Amino acid sequence: MELVLALLLAPLLTGVVRRTKAVVAGRRGPPLAQAYRDLWKLLHKSAVYSRTTTAVFRAGPVLGLACVGGALALVPAGPAPALASFPGDFVLLVALLGTARFATVLAALDTGSSFEGMGASRELGFAVLAEPALLLVLASLAQATGAWSLVPVLRATPEAELGAFALLAIVGATLFGLLLVENARIPFDDPTTHLELTMVHEVMVLDHGGPDLAAIEAAAMLKLWLFAGLLAGVLLPVVAPAPLGVAVHVAGVFAVGVAVGGIESSMARLRLVRVPQILVALVLLALLSWVLGPELAALS
């Protein structure tokens, strides 16, 4: 269910984020559906492949998109269950994101250019800390709600006491931080910059063009939707049955989009050296949520 929603509405979410940034900056900003047109344009362009590249370069974007799709299949959309749900499925989710990253890094290294190598090196640097943080956060959620699969975890209606609220605050903050890191948003990486030296994610896809670039853009959008969906699932208690609940969930996702737009326009990019420190902070937050989980549950 989330997969279908994402395929349809993900470009819209990116549009919302861009629109929020424009409005905050006092501009009208591009039309909301601009992302759809970009994808359509790219799909119909030809591609230029570098001579040094091999099949890995061509497989990168395609595998990346497939993996993010697979990950989305595991996430529930509010009340609606996910396509596949089993104990420990969020471990598979994190691992699929890892596979996508592995494919993108290899594709970048295949071009043999120094910029793409730099992007790959930074991406690996960030991933080493981001992955365990995401894993720990989802695990602490599972520990707090006593379930092992994403669907029951996100559907569990946290009681409104003080303890549960505090736990949700910590988990929400960590998830939001991870969203910014994984999707290369402002404080960690600038998606719109043109100076290669400052890029991380964008510089890895420098040499891709035409349909490959379309696949990469789509994968990025779906990933944004995935994280926003997770965040919405955690924060919004599931109150209503299917149709209404899903609508609330979608609204939540767009709210997260607006929040991302707000953050992006209010902060500048951090120096590259500072990023690992923030990541370590995120990991510690995840550990904190883990340790505090039982006490907070006992408190409420």
Partner 1 sequence: MTLLLLAVAALGCGGLSAALASRWPGWAGRLGAGGAVLGSALGLVPVARVLSGSEVGALELGWAVPGGALSLALDPLSAFFLAPILALTALTACYGHGYLAADAHPRRRGLSWLWFDALAASMVLVVTARNGLLFLVAWEGMAVASYFLVVHHAERDGVLRAGWLYLVATHLGTAFLLLLFARLAASSGSFDFAAWRAPAGGAAALFVLALVGFGAKAGLAPLHLWLPEAHPAAPSHVSALLSGAMLKTGLYGVLRMLEILGPAPRSWGTWLVAAGLVSALAGVLLALVQRDLKRLLAYSSVENVGIVLAGIGLAVWIRAHGDSGLASIALAGALLHVWNHALFKGLLFLGAGSIGRGAGSLDLEALGGLLRRMPWTGAAFLVGAAAIAALPPLNGFVSEFLLYLAALRSVTAASLPSLAPLAVIAGLGLVGGLAAATFAKAAGIALLGEPRSPGAAAAREVGPAMRFPMVVLAAACVVLGLAGPLGLAAVEAPVAHLLGARGEAARALGALAPTLWTVGAVGGGVLLAALGFAGLRRSALAGRSPRTAPTWDCGYGAPTPRMQYTASSLAQPLTALFGGLVRERLARGASGPRSFASEPRDPAEPPFRRAFGAVAALAARLAPLETGSTHLYVLYVVIAAFAVLLWKLA
Of residues 1 through 30, those in contact with partner 1 by CB under 8 A are none
Torsion angle defined by CA atoms of residues 99, 84, 219 and 156, in that order, rounded to the nearest 10 degrees:
-100
CB of 44 vs partner 1, minimal distance in Å: 7
* DSSP state for residue 199 in the 8-state scheme: -
| Pair of tokens at residue 67 | 């993996």
Least Å from the CB of residue 115 to partner 1: 6
Are 223 and 68 in contact by the 8 Å Cβ rule? The answer is yes
**Residue 116: closest CA among 203, 58, 213:** 203
> Applying CB under 8 A, does 73 fall inside the site for partner 1?
yes
Whole-angstrom distance, CA of residue 98 vs CA of residue 259: 26
Considering beta carbons, is residue 130 or 179 the nearer one to partner 1?
A: 130
Site for partner 1 in 114-143 (CB under 8 A): 114-118, 120-122, 124-125, 127-132, 135-136, 139, 142-143
Which of 32, 278, 287, 288 is the binder for partner 1 (CB under 8 A)? 287
Is residue 155 at the binding interface for partner 1, with CB under 8 A as the rule? no
Contacts 24+ apart (CB under 8 A), 114-118: 115/196, 115/199, 115/203, 115/206, 116/203, 116/204, 116/206, 116/207, 118/196, 118/197, 118/203
Measured from the CB of residue 201, what is the shortest distance to partner 1 in angstroms?
Answer: 15
Residue 236 binds partner 1 (CB under 8 A): no
The contact mask relative to partner 1 for 206-225 (x = CB under 8 A, - = no) is xx--xxx--x----------
Nearest to 77 by CA among 189, 182, 229, 219: 229
Q: Find all residues with CB under 8 Å of 121, minimum gap 6, and list them.
A: none
Which of 67, 87, 32 shows the shortest CA–CA distance to 223? Answer: 67
Question: With respect to partner 1, which residue has the nearer C-beta, 36 or 115?
Answer: 115
Q: In 3D, which of 178, 77, 192 has the Cα closest to residue 134?
A: 178
Binding mask 74-103 for partner 1 (x = CB under 8 A): x---------x-xxxx-xx-xxx-xx-xx-
Dist CA 282 CA 175 (whole Å): 9
The one segment of 105-113, 181-189, 224-232, 240-248 that binds partner 1 by CB under 8 A: 105-113
Question: Given the complex with partner 1, which of 50 and 266 has the nearer CB atom?
Answer: 50
Rounded to the nearest whole angstrom, what is the least distance from the CB of residue 138 to partner 1 in the complex? 10
One residue of 4, 8, 33, 56 binding partner 1 per CB under 8 A: 56
Among 24, 29, 148, 288, binds partner 1 (CB under 8 A): 148
Minimum gap (Å) between residue 182 Cβ and partner 1: 13
Token pair of 85 as six digits: 């749900």
